[in-house]
Amino acid sequence: MNINLELYKVFLSIAKNGNITKAANELMISQPGVSKSIKNLEDQLNCSLFIRSKSGVYLTEEGKMFYEKITNAMELIDNAEKSLMEMINMECGYINIGISNTLTRNFLLKYLKEFHKLYPKIKIKIFTNPTSELLIKARNGIIDFIILNLPYNIPNDFSIKKLKAIQDCFVANSNYNYLKGKTISLNDLSNYPLILMSKGSNTRYFLDEFCLANNITLTPEMELASYSLVTHFTKIGLGIGLVTKNFIKEELKKGELFEIDTIPKLNKRYIGLTYLKNKPLSHSAKKFLQIIEDEKKELLK
């Protein structure tokens, strides 16, 4: 049965007022229009909803049952409309983001701060599982989008967008000052204790692919699961570490670390965004990503 929602609104107004004229005034339509609407509804339902009298109208037994059910249904619709408007106006809602701990600290935090300042009522949840697990969560509707290091072998049912270019480099502390100003072949770096991320990380995957393409062999002395540990171990002089230059600006500025010039230089890579193609982003998620996009536009001016 396909009944116009407006007929239900007319029915509720008449039942509440007990009078067709009052209902017409409340709905701001003509009295004949109200009468025609209620007759149309009764015809479609094949029953009488009201008993007419000189003093007004009152509900039949069928009408009383129908009024109770329709009242509950209309309240649900009203609440749904209210909740939708609150989400559109950013008065409620949530964002679920998949991202690594490293990118959370070095990329996401400033955007989280700005977003929370603008929309403090939006709840944010961060998932820091391995990228392969985050992709599964995105498919299952648990995560809105994933921020990750590119390149990565992302499935075809996901959209991909580049957010920011980053540059990896090898660094050392003052224990290796004799390397300052020198250009070192990447192959020769294996003569020094290398500190790299463990296999399975995006950073290590990018390095291994680059070495394979350039016929380079690097043998690390230490392989660590945490990017921050690579940085800290390098800072205390345990070896030469591979880090992302964008994330160690303070250490370079203070002289705690220095960049080692290598041949060939590592290619640039990107911080990227991915989400399911067939799942539209929520209003809150779009607002969050707009903050990142606005900064990109500002930097290009």
Closest CA to 160 of 272, 271, 268: 272
Q: What is the C-alpha to C-alpha distance for residues 257 and 174, in angstroms, rounded to an integer?
A: 7
Q: How many other C-beta atoms are found inside a 10 Å radius of the C-beta of residue 217?
A: 9
DSSP labels, 27-74: HTS-HHHHHHHHHHHHHHHTS--EEEETTEEEE-HHHHHHHHHHHHHH
Q: What is the pLDDT of residue 237?
A: 95
What are the sequence ranges of the domains in the chain? 5-86, 94-163+270-300, 166-269
Q: Mean pLDDT of successive 10-residue segments in the chain (301 residues)? A: 81 90 90 91 90 87 90 81 69 86 92 92 90 92 92 91 93 95 91 92 89 92 92 96 94 95 92 91 88 71 44
CB neighbourhood size of 211 (10 A): 15
May I ask the CATH architecture of the domain 5-86?
Orthogonal Bundle (1.10)
Q: What is the pLDDT of residue 87?
A: 65
State the Cα–Cα distance between residues 237 and 226, nearest whole angstrom. Answer: 17
Q: Do domains 94-163+270-300 and 166-269 have the same CATH topology?
A: yes
* pLDDT number for residue 300: 45
What confidence score (pLDDT) does residue 301 get?
Answer: 44
CATH superfamily of 166-269: Periplasmic binding protein-like II (3.40.190.10)
Cα separation, 224 vs 242, in Å, equals 11
Q: Yes or no: say if 201 and 228 are a contact pair by the CB < 8 Å rule.
A: no
Rounded distance, CA 208 to CA 86, Å? 48
Give the Cβ contact number of residue 275 at 10 Å.
Answer: 19
**Main-chain dihedrals φ then ψ at residue 162, nearest 5 degrees:** -80, 135
pLDDT value of position 80: 75
Tell me the fold of 94-163+270-300.
Answer: D-Maltodextrin-Binding Protein; domain 2 (3.40.190)
Tell me the CA distances in angstroms from 26 to 9, 22, 23, 66, one per residue in order. 11, 6, 5, 21
**Separation between Cα atoms, residue 49 and residue 23, nearest integer Å:** 15
